[in-house]
Chain A
């Protein structure tokens, strides 16, 4: 079945560097995407979202880019900090799915001091 997937399962960066986490999706009917951060022992926490009629959205230190042509989503974290170490999930809402989320497998981001 169609699902959201991730290119890299792990990513290790140095503190202060920028991080880019990628996500591929295959369902062209997806109209809304969310990035979640999950720290150890906690549930997924909303970071940023983007609708399919947008290409880019910025938050505090985070930017999400959406390329509908190649069905690719990325999360950019500027000046990565040790507190950013976590598993990051992309999730999509497929239009007509009654607002239930389809998640990718997750990428483990490790920030080295």
Chain B
């Protein structure tokens, strides 16, 4: 069974540019989560999709971040315009049941560097 995949693995962009990160969850997983870890800090929750609906987006830092999950399959996270403080590793996770936290499987992450 393929795990959670993320693309790209690494992105380097200049301040003010736009970047779109993609996450493909495990097939059949209705729940999809985005997290990020900025340098030296904790991994922080960004948002949670159930199928195509945003269940909880309380962790989204500001309106420069837009997450979508059209069709309830893969998800994208767009940052526009990117700022220096957006640099970090963005993780995606998926699970079949929303209340089985231990079954949140994480992808390898996308390392975003904003210069």
Q: Which residues of A contact B (CB under 8 A)?
A: 3-4, 32, 34, 36, 41-46, 49, 89, 91, 93, 98-106
* Cα distance A104–B109 in the bound complex, in angstroms: 17
Given A3-B42, A32-B101, A34-B102, 19 new contacts (CB under 8 A)? A4-B42, A43-B4, A43-B93, A43-B109, A44-B43, A44-B91, A46-B102, A46-B103, A46-B105, A93-B101, A98-B55, A99-B99, A101-B35, A101-B43, A101-B101, A102-B45, A103-B35, A103-B37, A103-B44
Contact indicator A103/B33 (Cβ below 8 Å): no
Interface bits B69-109 vs A (CB < 8 Å: 1, else 0):
00000000000000000000001010000110111111111
* Cα distance A46–B58 in the bound complex, in angstroms: 24
Name the contact of B98 in the complex, choosing from A36, A41, A99 (C-beta under 8 A). Answer: A99
Distance of B2 from chain A, by nearest CB (Å) = 14
Distance of A48 from chain B, by nearest CB (Å) = 9
Contact indicator A100/B56 (Cβ below 8 Å): yes
- Which of A34, A41, A98 has the most C-beta atoms of chain B within 10 angstroms of its own C-beta? A98
* Cα distance A62–B66 in the bound complex, in angstroms: 39
* 24 A/B residue pairs, CB under 8 Å, sorted by A: A3-B42, A4-B42, A34-B101, A34-B102, A42-B108, A43-B4, A43-B108, A43-B109, A44-B43, A45-B106, A46-B103, A46-B105, A49-B101, A91-B43, A98-B55, A100-B56, A100-B58, A101-B45, A101-B101, A103-B43, A103-B44, A105-B41, A106-B42, A106-B43
* Cα distance A99–B101 in the bound complex, in angstroms: 6
* Cα distance A93–B103 in the bound complex, in angstroms: 13
Q: Which residue on chain B has the smallest CB distance to residue A6?
A: B42
A41 CB contacts on chain B under 8 angstroms: 108
A45 CB contacts on chain B under 8 angstroms: 106
Distance of B92 from chain A, by nearest CB (Å) = 8
* Cα distance A98–B49 in the bound complex, in angstroms: 12
B residues 12-36 touching A (CB-CB < 8 Å)? 33, 35
* Cα distance A20–B17 in the bound complex, in angstroms: 43
Name the contact of B33 in the complex, choosing from A42, A89, A100 (C-beta under 8 A). Answer: A100
